């Protein structure tokens, strides 16, 4: 294991060397045209942020298992390639003149190239940000779930940094995840709101979604309300504790990073003995306007988007599901009705946010093996979890299966569920070619896999189709990616999450259009 650690982190000195070169080149541009200098400064700041996070990993390397080390090693190799490409691109901005007195070369800025290379600089910055968000951050945040005193020591050392620097290094988000992993959430944090908190708000339906929008007359802030009902068989005390933990964990999470909305609070609907429902009140990101559900977009069948848009939605959905697990929960209800697309005025589709947490629980907690017979929900459930009495306890792989069905539907751009115009009753689409009166779970799953094998590649390419098939077969013994028995016994979720990063998140983000 020690030899592996040395091999893995041998990439770090190379990263530092390339990063040092990048900073030196950026500093040479500080006297350039204002916009060029601003971009160069942003690149320098971004490298500083990355370097501090890499130093953190280097200091806790002995706490990481082989699988996580391997993922981070691959991630750092990609960074080296991107830093090298960035340095090559920036180096073209300069000319070299000989300094005979000092017997060395001096870099001089070719000012006529500023405008020419401005777009190149912007591409460098975007490339580094994309690497951080899509490849590095998942394994970085997963590290916070490892039970190791060394991680706590390194996080405590970060308290010496200024608040601005800590935020720039993603440390508040990391510390929040760490508290959740160690069950050190602040029990005094106010989570529950007055039951009349939404009385003055305008409530707007979201077509084909379990959520609603809410607006107060005196504010432009948009809220998303997601209500869960309390069944008679539920242990209310445990449910309240889970709701408190979940809401507090999402109170300061970064929506742009995690794909989950900030939780403003939870409103209970009181009854004589116990609440009959709890309404999560989420704060939509600033400048967000009303959006729609993925189901609504699929039903409309509008093709006014590019293939790149569809890939971006898939990538954001994969990211959101991953961070639900990193926060220590399983969702249990992933389907297009629980996937919101909130418009931000930039992307036609908007950004993906998960809602529909009506069945969530802690990933390492007990599960109640009770289900329902709703076809529109069972379609997204693994055969082991179908029916009123599911066969198996709920684990993370069941969420991954649901994700696979959604990715298949998104790739084909054809809704698997339709609604009767008059009664609004859901029906399975004819594309599934199943008898809705007698759906056999195993046959339905096999049909979905065949769609991924035979039809999906024509729409999204073979790599995307392979990722979807990996999700749909993640609980099959013959699945080489998730078939390891250790994953079924991994209560912490680290092994499953590492496989998820490697086989789904990484591969989807590596698809170049």
Does residue 293 sit in helix, strand or coil? strand
- What is the residue range of 36's domain? 2-96+110-181
**Closest to 424 measured CA to CA, from 315, 296, 306, 251:** 296
Residue with tokens 């170049």: 512
Q: Which of 1-10, 428-437, 499-508 has the lowest mean pLDDT?
A: 1-10
Interval 142-169: pLDDT, tens: 998 888 889 988 888 876 666 666 565 5
395 vs 126, more confident: 126
Q: Which of 24-38, 57-71, 459-473 has the lowest mean pLDDT?
A: 24-38
Q: Has residue 215 been placed in a domain?
A: no
**Closest to 55 measured CA to CA, from 171, 147, 167:** 171
Whether residue 503 is predicted with pLDDT greater than 60 in this model: the reply is: yes
Interval 185-205: pLDDT, tens: 555 568 888 888 888 889 999
Does residue 353 sit in helix, strand or coil? strand
Whole-angstrom distance between the N-terminal and C-terminal Cα of the chain?
38
Q: Has residue 240 been placed in a domain?
A: no
Q: Which helix (H) or strand (E) holds 329?
A: strand 329-330
Give the DSSP letter string of 465-499: HHHHHHHHTTTSTT-TTT--HHHHT-TT-HHHHHH
3-state helix, strand, coil in the chain (%, to 5): 50, 15, 35
What is the pLDDT at residue 3? 42
118-142 per-residue burial string, b: 16 or more CB within 10 A, e: under 16? bebbeebbebbeebbebbbbbbbbb
Q: What is the residue-averaged pLDDT of the chain?
A: 81
- The DSSP letter of residue 185 is -
Q: Has residue 298 been placed in a domain?
A: yes
| Residue where a domain terminates, one of 135, 160, 181 | 181
Q: Quote the tokens at residue 250.
A: 């999402």
| Residue where a domain terminates, one of 153, 181, 209 | 181
Q: What Cα–Cα distance (Å) separates residue 315 from each residue in 81, 217, 297, 311, 415? A: 22, 35, 17, 6, 19
Q: Quote the tokens at residue 119.
A: 């777009």
Give me the number of domains the chain comprises.
Answer: 2
Q: Has residue 49 been placed in a domain?
A: yes
Interval 277-305: pLDDT, tens: 899 999 998 877 778 999 999 998 878 78
Q: Do 456 and 322 reside in the same domain of the chain?
A: yes
Yes or no: say if 213 and 229 are a contact pair by the CB < 8 Å rule.
no
Q: Do 314 and 172 reside in the same domain of the chain?
A: no
Does residue 363 sit in helix, strand or coil? coil
Q: Has residue 39 been placed in a domain?
A: yes
Mean pLDDT of 114-122: 73
Q: Has residue 146 been placed in a domain?
A: yes
Q: Has residue 329 been placed in a domain?
A: yes
Q: Do 339 and 488 reside in the same domain of the chain?
A: yes
| Residue where a domain terminates, one of 154, 181, 208 | 181
Domain with 397 in it: what CATH number? Answer: 1.10.510.10
What is the pLDDT at residue 513? 46
Interval 307-319: pLDDT, tens: 889 999 999 999 9
Distance of CA 296 to the CA centre of its chain: 22
Whether residue 364 is predicted with pLDDT greater than 60 in this model: the reply is: no
Interval 400-423: pLDDT, tens: 999 999 999 999 999 999 887 766
Q: Has residue 237 been placed in a domain?
A: no
Interval 3-17: pLDDT, tens: 444 455 678 999 999
Whether this model's pTM surpasses 0.85: yes
Whether residue 341 is predicted with pLDDT greater than 80 in this model: the reply is: yes
Q: Which helix (H) or strand (E) holds 291?
A: strand 289-293
Q: Which helix (H) or strand (E) holds 181?
A: helix 171-181
Q: Do 295 and 168 reside in the same domain of the chain?
A: no
pLDDT band at 322 (very low <50, low <70, confident <90, very high): very high
Q: Do 169 and 295 reside in the same domain of the chain?
A: no
Q: Do 6 and 144 reside in the same domain of the chain?
A: yes
What's the rounded Cα separation, in Å, for the pair 487 and 2?
24
């Amino acid at each position: 294991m020690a030899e592996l650690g040395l091999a893995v982190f041998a990439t770090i000195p190379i990263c530092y060397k390339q990063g040092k070169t990048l900073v030196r080149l950026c500093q040479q541009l500080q006297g350039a045209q204002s916009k060029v200098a601003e971009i160069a400064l942003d690149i320098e700041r971004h490298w500083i942020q990355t370097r501090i996070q890499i130093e953190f990993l280097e200091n806790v390397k002995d706490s990481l298992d082989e699988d996580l080390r391997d993922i981070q090693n691959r991630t750092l190799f990609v960074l080296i390639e991107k830093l090298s490409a960035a340095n090559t691109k920036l180096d073209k901005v300069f000319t070299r003149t000989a300094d005979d007195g000092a017997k060395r070369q001096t870099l001089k800025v070719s000012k006529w190239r500023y405008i020419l290379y401005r777009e190149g600089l912007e591409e460098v910055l975007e490339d580094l940000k994309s690497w951080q968000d899509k490849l590095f951050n998942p394994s970085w945040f997963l590290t916070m779930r490892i039970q190791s005193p060394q991680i706590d020591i390194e996080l405590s050392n970060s308290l010496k940094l200024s608040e601005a620097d800590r935020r720039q290094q993603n440390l508040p988000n990391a510390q929040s995840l760490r508290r959740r992993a160690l069950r050190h959430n602040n029990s005094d944090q106010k989570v529950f709101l007055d039951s009349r908190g939404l009385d003055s708000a305008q409530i707007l339906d979201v077509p084909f979604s379990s959520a609603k929008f809410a607006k107060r007359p005196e504010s432009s802030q948009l809220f998303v309300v997601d209500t869960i009902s309390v069944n008679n068989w539920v242990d209310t005390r445990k449910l309240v504790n889970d709701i408190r933990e979940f809401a507090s964990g999402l109170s300061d999470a970064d929506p742009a990073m995690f794909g989950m909305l900030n939780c403003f609070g939870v409103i209970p609907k009181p009854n004589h003995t116990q609440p009959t429902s709890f309404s999560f009140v989420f704060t939509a990101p600033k400048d967000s306007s009303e959006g729609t559900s993925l189901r609504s977009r699929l039903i409309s069948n509008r093709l006014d988007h590019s293939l790149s848009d569809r890939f971006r939605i898939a990538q954001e959905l994969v990211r959101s599901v991953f961070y639900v697990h990193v926060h220590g929960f399983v969702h249990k209800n992933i389907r297009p009705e629980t996937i919101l697309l909130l418009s931000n005025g930039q992307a036609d589709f908007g950004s993906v946010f998960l809602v529909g947490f009506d069945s969530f629980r802690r990933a390492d907690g007990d599960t109640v093996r009770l289900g329902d017979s709703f076809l529109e929900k069972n379609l997204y459930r693994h055969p082991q979890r179908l029916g009123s009495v599911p066969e198996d306890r709920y684990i993370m792989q069941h969420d991954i299966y649901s994700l696979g069905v959604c990715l298949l539907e998104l790739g084909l751009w054809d809704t698997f569920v339709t609604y009767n115009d008059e009664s609004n009753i859901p029906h399975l689409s004819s594309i599934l070619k199943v008898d809705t009166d007698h759906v056999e779970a195993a046959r339905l799953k096999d049909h979905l896999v065949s769609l991924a094998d035979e039809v999906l590649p024509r729409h999204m390419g073979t790599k995307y189709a392979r990722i979807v098939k990996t999700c749909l077969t993640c609980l099959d013994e013959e699945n080489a990616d998730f078939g390891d028995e250790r994953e079924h016994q991994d209560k912490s979720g680290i092994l499953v999450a590492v496989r998820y990063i490697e086989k789904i998140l990484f591969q989807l983000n590596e698809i170049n259009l």
